[in-house]
Structure 1
Amino acid sequence: MSLRRWIKTAAVMAAVLLCALGLWLWLDPFRVVLADYARQRVLAGLTRNAVKIDDHRWVYAYNDEAPAGAPTVVMIHGFTGSKENWYPLAQRLRGRYRLFAPDLPGWGESERHAGGDYGFVAQNDRVARFIEQVARKPGSEVVLLGHSMGGGIVALTAARHPRVVDRVGLFDAAGVRFQDNAFGLAVLRGKNPFAVSDAASLRRYIDIVFYDDAAKPVIPWPADRIYIDRRKRDAGFEQSVLDKIGRGDERFLPGEAAADIRQPALLLWCRQDAVIDVSAMDLYAARLPQAQRVLLDGCGHMSIVERPEPAAQAVNRLIAEGRPR
């Protein structure tokens, strides 16, 4: 083949690939965001997988490269969050433990059913099923970690399904009546302080959940616009979940159930948390006298992203110290 003909062929192939990429993104622009999530997952040393459990398809990230008999760490994200929130912590735990970070049903890449129940109670039962069917391995302790809404779910799971949880960690956890702050009062008024509908509300959302400027994510164009559009479409779903976990009868169930948790426990908060006020840690501690308490400074609600190194150290201590139930 002559050089000119080779160049022409290569140009045609490049044009075809570019058109195919354009069509692929046109059909689902959110794939731009998912591509960056995949990049983050690879850097954290995790693999993506999916599983059908009962009536929901779960998508999760995992790493099973750990010594024989190593503990299994399952990480549950919070409201408007996803498995990706745990990647900085997972990167620091990799190699010591088996790691599983799922998208909860209704969130991220996992399946959502119109009119489905995605409150604390329903999700805690689903988490127990995920552990039983996917994460649990004979001879391996299960360490269940939860952040924010995920912390409330995890508290219920540890209390109501103790056979599948050997140790528990609550990070900036929802589920107790903490001291009033702007976020909590807005929720009680029927608002969604996390709502995102434009560039300004996206910036406000990031500023609420992060305190450390260095840790705040930068979302470049066009990913920012694609993310905003996705959050706008999810507004009704977010409001329905917040109605259950922030204003409904379930909102304080995790704190009440915490008194039944007998497993070794960890409570970790950031002093500058503007979402779940740090007073919540004392409320949980009153019900969990066995819990190790870690209060970090210079960070906000996203402790697992803003301070992943001390968070990882706290998890290591939780696993190393104290006898499982």
Structure 2
Amino acid sequence: MEPVLPPWPATFEEVGTARLQVRRTPGPDGVPAVYLHGLGGSSTNWTDLAALLAPVAGGTAPDLPGFGWSEPEAGFDFSLEAHADVVARHVREVGAPVHLLGNSMGGAIALILAARHPELVKTLTLISPAMPDRRPDPRRLSDPRMALAYLPLVGARVRAQLAAMGPRERAAQVIKLCFADPSKFPESRLDELTEEHGARAGFAWAAPAMARSTFGIFRAWSAVGKASLWSLAPLVKAPTLVVWGREDRVISVRRAMRTARAIPRARLLVLPRTGHVAQMERPIAVAKAVLGMWEHVEAGNW
């Protein structure tokens, strides 16, 4: 078994008025990569893929406001647009244009940024992006009780039950939801995730940030007209790779073809035996596809 890489070194960086924890992957001079994690995730979700891409592109993976160790600034509204504005400032400081990669919520944020600021994005990789998917399926939740957590009367009791869970149990639930085969998740990675969940339990802002970002996604899914993610997708000018796991329980693979068709220069890769976080579960397959896109773009034939 190959050794498991530790997370990339992290520092706190000022991004406009926000203060984010950012993990940096060293690489050659050239177009950098920027990696955006999903709801409830963090910059550590990109450890393996960033390592595989590092010989071609160094990268940065920020903890988005309210996630990982990035405390949200006062007044942050946790909409996808607000997250995209923070990322746009980060991209400008890193040196645009960048190779932008996003998973789940991070994929929706990346799409918004690419549509509204095409000058900042050289290529776009969307891994199970959070495109509107309103099916009422309890299998999408790491714990079915989460569906009741914000209802009147029962919500407070359910939230107390969820808060009483240990960090390792919560971490294992997340992996069970997001991986097609949770047994493939390395034990050392579970240790890392457990430590992260334990630390976040002590942050007063963590739970509200999770709830408000969740509602921000639901608001985006309910938007119509020009504000809809489906309306923004055709505005993306960057060459785009859309990656989906065939066994994704969070955002259905049924959204994959529509997403790829909505983006003018997109191609689609659907991976078998893969769940919601393909960059973690199948990093080599994803890296090959991303590197292939970058090569085709440089050759002018994407």
TM-score, length-scaled by structure 1 = 0.75
Q: Deviations for 1:95-140, whole angstroms, at most 9, x for unmatched residues?
A: 211211111122112231355212211111111110101x216xxx
Look up the match of 1:129: 89
2:219 maps to which of 248, 259, 273: 248
Identity of paired residues, percent? 27
Map 1:174-323 → 2, pairs under 5 A: 174-177=130-133, 181-183=137-139, 197-199=164-166, 200-218=169-187, 224=194, 227-228=197-198, 230-231=200-201, 234-245=206-217, 247-249=218-220, 253-322=228-297, 323=300
Report the CA distance between 1:258 and its aligned residue. Answer: 0.8
Q: Kindly report which structure 2 residues correspond to 1:24-103, keeping only aligned pairs within 5 A, or say none.
A: 40-41=6-7, 46-66=8-28, 68=29, 70-103=30-63
Whether the aligned pair in 1 keeps the contact of 2:31 and 2:57 (CA below 8 Å) is yes
- Kept after mapping to 1: 8 A contact 2:50/2:59: yes
Amino acid at match of 1:198: M
Cα deviation, 1:134-191, whole Å, max 9, x if unaligned, reads: x216xxx511110000000000000001111111111010032366543569799675
1:91 Cα offset (Å): 1.1
> Do the aligned residues in 1 keep the contact of 2:92 with 2:120 (CA within 8 Å)?
yes
RMSD of the TM alignment (CA)?
Answer: 3.2
**Rounded Cα–Cα distance in structure 1 between residues aligned with 2:34 and 2:194:** 29
Amino acid corresponding to residue 205 of structure 1 in structure 2 = V
**Is this contact kept in 1: 2:140–2:177, CA < 8 A?**
no
Other-structure match for 1:33: none
Alpha-carbon distance in structure 1 between the residues aligned to 2:191 and 2:87: 35
Q: State the structure with more CA Rg.
A: 1
SS in 2 for 1:248: helix
The superposition leaves residues 260-309 of structure 1 with CA deviations (integer Å, 9 ceiling, x where unpaired) of 01111000011000101101212212211421211111111111110000
Name the residue aligned to 1:32: none
Q: Would the alpha carbon gap of residues 197 and 164 (structure 1) be closer, same or farther in structure 2, given more than 3 Å must change? A: farther
Aligned residues: 277
Please give the alpha-carbon distance, in whole angstroms, between the structure 2 residues aligned to 1:317 and 1:257: 25
**Aligned with 2:91: secondary structure?**
helix
Note if contact 1:178-1:276 (Cα within 8 Å) is conserved in structure 2: no
**Amino acid in the other structure paired with 2:69:** E
**TM-score, normalised via structure 2 length:** 0.80
Q: Deviations over 1:55-94 (max 9, x none)?
A: 211221113431x4x3211111110111100001011111
Structure 1, unaligned stretches of length 5 or more?
A: 1-36
Distance in 2 (alpha carbons) for counterparts of 1:187 and 1:145: 31
Contact 1:181 1:277 in 2 (8 A): no
Aligned to 2:158: none
- State the 1:250 CA deviation: 5.6
2:252 corresponds to which letter in structure 1? D
Q: In structure 1, what is the equivalent of residue 153 of structure 2?
A: none
Per-residue deviation at 1:223? 7.8
Give the Cα separation in 2 of the matches to 1:228 and 1:291: 39
Q: Quick one: which of 62, 67, 80 aligns to 1:107?
A: 67
1:150 aligns with 2:106: yes
Moved more, 268-277 or 49-58: 49-58
